[in-house]
Chain A
């Protein structure tokens, strides 16, 4: 059978074109790659190249024909060993050959929502001894323990080795693990983030420290396009076990370019897990889980918390599962949902509220993706009033997501609209008084809680 040469589509949207000119004629020998004809679309003139070799047996659509449909046969090609008689067995074209796209139609509607998240193991109860440690020490211990446990875990970033960490989080690690595993990088966030992603593809478990997450903007392409999406794009073949960690959000008086909360940026993206601990125990347990997790994890720390001390379980096997929120103060009248440094402010607000007879429940989200919606909803059903607190901007923020989920899953239990306490919708100012005004404070949180309780 002669080969049918079809009118090609030269862009995803092309449905027809004009056959401007044949460059080969009936009887001409054709090699693969030879230009057979020129076709015109409304955008451009393009060439049709032969895919097979043979002899051009018959031209079915002559020069100058307009509106030739894509996939309509335009010529017949005789293969080696065929002669012209073969053309007679091939169907003659009709004047108005209609050719539907052979692309298969979608057969089934996609499921409209993601399946329920896999069950997350409960947090183990710690019955052993505890020690007092700062968040800084807890993070360092988590890294050290995981590096002792697994040789493929290594730390890289600016000033993490000889300088002992810009904020001293990696103090002592170079001494213990050497410069093979604790690596000072040049100031080159885009480059070392991409390099670490490549190393993760090839079997390592990098911990990448950003001196602050503000500098991760330079590396955003590799975090999102390379780390978060490759597992999906590879049909599950190429996972990226990596932790990107460092201080996030406002520090103290370092102004707009060094004071931004990126929680909602990262939490927006499927393929990432996002963690933002408050206490030292959680910082340690969550970082260990993040390092062991086979997925890319964004680990948002807070500079102002580094020096705060908490009781931390004493031992190498303390981990906290990703994806589980924690009730850090039980209460009956109003739920305050917070993460990172705002958990401490929410607890302080709860104390002032208690003095006024309002019993607030404080939930530390700990993980922002996957979000522990069940814990929030359960609390909302109990207290019927919810305040979310975050240091970042409110627009499309974590609080917006929480409000939406409560509206979807606990609408009938609410006695007041969900209230969002957020950073002011401005770049963070330098002046001490303006900075304070721009960030959520104990009193603004307390005021919001009273408002949803209709107390003034």
Chain B
């Protein structure tokens, strides 16, 4: 990366030395995997290999990587249609995710769900939901089941600043607080719900306080700083796991790409996007933490870059080689045959 790092504004929030170098390198690998995956998805979309809607996560990588690093494998995740990063952070196979994007038999949903609808029972990933905010009550119900079953697992329900004005969010907040359900609500505030800025959509823009009426604690976190996300997630998850009810984290982040691929981006200036990319990029920032902290040198990071590049190239090749679903698949999976 040739970008000058000196222009970055100083940040005083996090105390990286406390975090082990190995953890930082793992965050780096996961965040880079998401970014490279999304860039490749954008490229395949451009080539006509991916159709329909395709919502990229570039710029927001630190949010899901930070939160998921604090979760246990038995914990559940549910999110919106901007879901590729969440699936990779849950440990789902990039091949299966990319092949779903190309609509092939090797995809996680056998080609029948597409970018917005993938699931993995094995990784406790519950989708991939295309209706804005639908995942909020669903995630609350996943947490309900965890408690009903007598486990101390939690569910992380991710949704955007656009979703926070849906009524079902507050119906969920109320029940989660009433019944003290172990659900972590992660509001990914990337500043725009499609083309409408938070300021133009929300009477109160302090989104982490949206649970106040229900007594749900909320906290805003620098979503471009994976170490800050991790620290906040640990505290919030401990709260949920201890049976104290839901917790809200608002990750202040930024989406570099359009809402979906066909987004003319008239609602924000190029300068705004460029400024975020050059001054607040979460991956550049983490690189700097790693190198400045003496956790690894440029060569070690280059090695990670190469490994990630190979994984993505392999996933892209698989996604193109995997056959289209058999025509008989049209009729399967409508109902479970008893």
Contacts and interface: CB of A to CB of B under 8 A. Distances in A.
B103 to A, nearest CB: 9
Interface in B259-276: 261-262, 264-266, 270
Nearest to B32: A32
Contact of B264 (A43, A110, A234): A43
B296 interface: no
A195 to B, nearest CB: 4
A237 B121 contact: yes
B38 to A, nearest CB: 10
B57 to A, nearest CB: 13
Contact of B175 (A12, A103, A114, A185): A185
Interface string B120-156: 1100001111110010111111111110110000010
A111 B126 contact: no
A270 B333 CA distance: 10
Contacts of A222: 134, 137-138
A188 B238 CA distance: 28
Interface string A85-125: 00000000000000001111011111100110010000000
A379 B38 CA distance: 58
Interface in B319-338: 324, 327-328, 330-338
A108 B47 CA distance: 23
Contact of A195 (B52, B140, B333): B140
A32 B333 CA distance: 39
A434 interface: no
A339 to B, nearest CB: 20
A288 B277 CA distance: 58
A51 to B, nearest CB: 4
B262 A12 contact: yes
Contact of B277 (A33, A70, A270): A33
Contacts of B2: 29, 31
A198 B145 contact: yes
A233 interface: yes
Contact of A235 (B48, B112, B261, B337): B112
A307 interface: no
Contacts of A29: 2
A203 interface: yes
Nearest to B122: A237
Interface stretch (B12-20, B166-174, B186-194, B227-235): B166-174
A44 B141 CA distance: 42
Interface in B213-258: 256
Contacts of B172: 191, 194-195
Contacts of B58: 33
Nearest to A193: B137
B117 A233 contact: yes
Contact of A108 (B42, B167, B168, B327): B327
B167 to A, nearest CB: 7
Contacts of B120: 237
B126 A194 contact: no
B205 interface: no
B337 A118 contact: yes
B291 interface: no
A154 B111 CA distance: 34
Contacts of A424: none
A63 interface: no
A203 B51 CA distance: 33
Contacts of B39: 32-33, 49, 51
A186 interface: yes
A357 interface: no
A226 interface: yes
Nearest to B54: A12
B27 interface: no
Contact of A102 (B1, B47, B139, B148): B47
Interface residues of A, number: 76
A295 interface: yes
Interface string A291-311: 011110000000000000000
Interface string A163-194: 00000000000000000100001101011111
A49 B56 CA distance: 13
A154 B172 CA distance: 19
A51 B109 contact: no
A237 B119 contact: yes
Contacts of A200: 141
Contact of A230 (B119, B148, B167): B119
Interface in A18-49: 29, 31-33, 43-47, 49
A225 B134 contact: yes
Interface string B34-48: 011001101101111
A236 B145 contact: no
Interface in A42-64: 43-47, 49, 51
Contacts of B117: 230, 233-234
B48 A198 contact: no
Interface stretch (A2-10, A132-140, A325-333, A386-394): A2-10
A239 interface: yes
Interface of B: 1-3, 35-36, 39-40, 42-43, 45-49, 51-52, 58, 76, 78, 107-113, 117-121, 126-131, 134, 136-146, 148-149, 155, 167-168, 171-172, 174-175, 178, 256, 261-262, 264-266, 270, 277, 324, 327-328, 330-338
Given A8-B47, A29-B2, 14 more contacts: A8-B42, A9-B45, A32-B35, A33-B35, A70-B47, A71-B46, A103-B48, A114-B331, A194-B141, A204-B149, A232-B112, A234-B117, A234-B118, A239-B336
14 contacts: A8-B46, A107-B324, A190-B168, A191-B171, A191-B174, A192-B171, A195-B138, A197-B138, A197-B141, A222-B137, A233-B113, A236-B336, A237-B109, A241-B336
